[in-house]
Structure 1
């Protein structure tokens, strides 16, 4: 029966031309090499090696086996190496998703560096528009989620990235552009242009409108940031974007941004009682801020390439 050890023996014989030299490479005795060769020749009833030549040569049958060895052995070596890298967390697949649909501007340099440092790890991306992206993480459908929601879920851990301000995005000719601080009541008659995610997951809803118990007149969705900007610029509605995203388009003069008045408990109480304190006014000026996290499974925290990606994120500077 033909085995891997037989293929290795024949390639060693070809490389060194003698039983003794081949035995040294294989870390066995010359008699063991001779025995393997006889065993194989007897099993198939065909001669493989011309032993009397110096260096020894191969018969047509021996060359057939050598051709197989040249095809099979490199694959075996690659597979063994891959298994070793997998066992040490140096190879595998890293699947990412992001609830922040404008994050790839700052994430791309990190991904490029990761590819250079972890060339054996395949990077893959899942859509961030899933209604329950944390569930995808729990079910191992993804390995890392960029999110603003650090939900308390067993087995999920969060690495803080940076804080950003959510800014209201307007056409330069929009009537609200004359205001520097936007209240929830200012936009109740407006159409919100947003990404296609659940309304409760949008920063402007969760941290600005919902605390004031108010809502937009309508929500229109688009998956593309460029289309969102175009719709706002053509006065089809207003939007809310992270400050670093909106700044790029504001510099071009396509849109303007305004600060959203933070809706705090003090402010809600003041509205109910008709009393406005200095602390309330200060809170209004603070704006609406959100924390961005990288969520992963605790079970993957000891995987080397996951640790490598986390290390790169540690050096992240807010865009």
Structure 2
């Protein structure tokens, strides 16, 4: 079985382009005898002549032409690959493949990406919506570079970079009995129908982190898929909801809605950037863009 290595492809390619064994040896940092030895060894290994010797010149055989043509196709790709890897090593990666664990984050994420690309047009940011269903799994498979998540996984191979802290607030109708309060405790919700996103329970932040999976803290729970539908139900005083302040802000033109904070910072939620490696310089710039936009409340 023949096995032409990249080193051999480069050897043939340089000899042809330099049109001189001496110059080729210099370019490959070899002595002329060492280059001639490698060439003879390659011809012996494949059992075919690559060059014909004529008046101290090397002329490509049919086999040699095939090898040279292949080197012209493959070596540029390998050089590009090496350059990209070196760029990543220096923190100069040109692409970010990104997702978030929460569909509602797509309310603000595209705006951040747009601003980032405006300042860094050479960087390509790809949002993988499919990966939202299980960002950590996509990260482990190498199908994305970063994931915006609100929970740290118990794994040592994933790095979690603190990103932002947002606030989960209670949304209620102005006709609700709780509307006159300045802030709410969980005990205030006992007689309320809580309307939440239709997510698996283990991925529902309100259930797992705020209610601590204690369904007795509310009268009942109703699950709805769309933010707009939740807003309409709350506006009609058919229940209350808990969601991020930035997620509900666009709907505040509805005069029937009021937002109330939870006592003792129970509504604070930490977000992280998850990645398999330490984030690169370019990825840190993207993180800074997210933080800047949140600090400016530009959502």
How far apart, CA to CA, are the structure 2 residues paired with 1:106 and 1:222?
21
Is contact 2:99–2:148 with CA below 8 Å preserved after alignment? yes
Counterpart of 1:39 in structure 2 is: 41
Q: Classify the secondary structure of the residue corresponding to 1:28.
A: coil
What TM-score does the superposition give when structure 2 sets the normalisation length? 0.66
Is contact 1:121–1:305 with CA below 8 Å preserved after alignment? no
Gaps of 5+ in 1: 265-287
Q: Classify the secondary structure of the residue corresponding to 1:293.
A: strand
Is contact 1:187–1:216 with CA below 8 Å preserved after alignment? yes
Is contact 1:156–1:298 with CA below 8 Å preserved after alignment? yes
Select the residue among 15, 20, 25 that pairs with 1:18. 20
Is contact 1:50–1:56 with CA below 8 Å preserved after alignment? yes
Q: Classify the secondary structure of the residue corresponding to 2:176.
A: helix
Q: Classify the secondary structure of the residue corresponding to 1:175.
A: coil
Select the residue among 5, 8, 18 that pairs with 1:6. 8
Q: Deviations over 1:95-130 (max 9, x none)?
A: 64445x5322222233452795784887656447x8
CA shift, 1:79, in A, is: 3.8
Counterpart of 2:210 in structure 1 is: 206
Is contact 1:144–1:294 with CA below 8 Å preserved after alignment? no
How far apart, CA to CA, are the structure 1 residues paired with 2:155 and 2:37?
62
Counterpart of 2:287 in structure 1 is: 310
Distance change in 2, residues 1:40/1:157 (3 Å): closer
Distance change in 2, residues 1:41/1:114 (3 Å): same
Q: Which moved more, 1:43-52 or 1:300-309?
A: 300-309
Gaps of 5+ in 2: none
CA shift, 1:222, in A, is: 2.5
Q: How well do the aligned residues superpose, as a CA RMSD in angstroms?
A: 4.8
Q: Deviations over 1:128-150 (max 9, x none)?
A: 7x8xx9xx69x968964443x79
Is contact 1:300–1:306 with CA below 8 Å preserved after alignment? no
How far apart, CA to CA, are the structure 1 residues paired with 2:31 and 2:245?
72
CA shift, 1:17, in A, is: 2.2
Is contact 1:18–1:55 with CA below 8 Å preserved after alignment? yes
How far apart, CA to CA, are the structure 2 residues paired with 1:110 and 1:315?
9
How many residues align structurally?
Answer: 279
Distance change in 2, residues 1:72/1:175 (3 Å): same
Counterpart of 1:175 in structure 2 is: 175
CA shift, 1:194, in A, is: 0.7
Select the residue among 84, 103, 113 that pairs with 2:105. 103
How far apart, CA to CA, are the structure 1 residues paired with 2:74 and 2:153?
49
Q: Classify the secondary structure of the residue corresponding to 1:219.
A: strand
Is contact 1:118–1:305 with CA below 8 Å preserved after alignment? no
How far apart, CA to CA, are the structure 2 residues paired with 1:35 and 1:63?
20
CA shift, 1:232, in A, is: 3.8
How far apart, CA to CA, are the structure 2 residues paired with 1:227 and 1:54?
83
Alignment of 1:221-232 (within 5 A): 221-232=223-234
Counterpart of 1:293 in structure 2 is: 270
Is contact 1:188–1:217 with CA below 8 Å preserved after alignment? yes
What TM-score does the superposition give when structure 1 sets the normalisation length? 0.63
Is contact 1:193–1:222 with CA below 8 Å preserved after alignment? yes
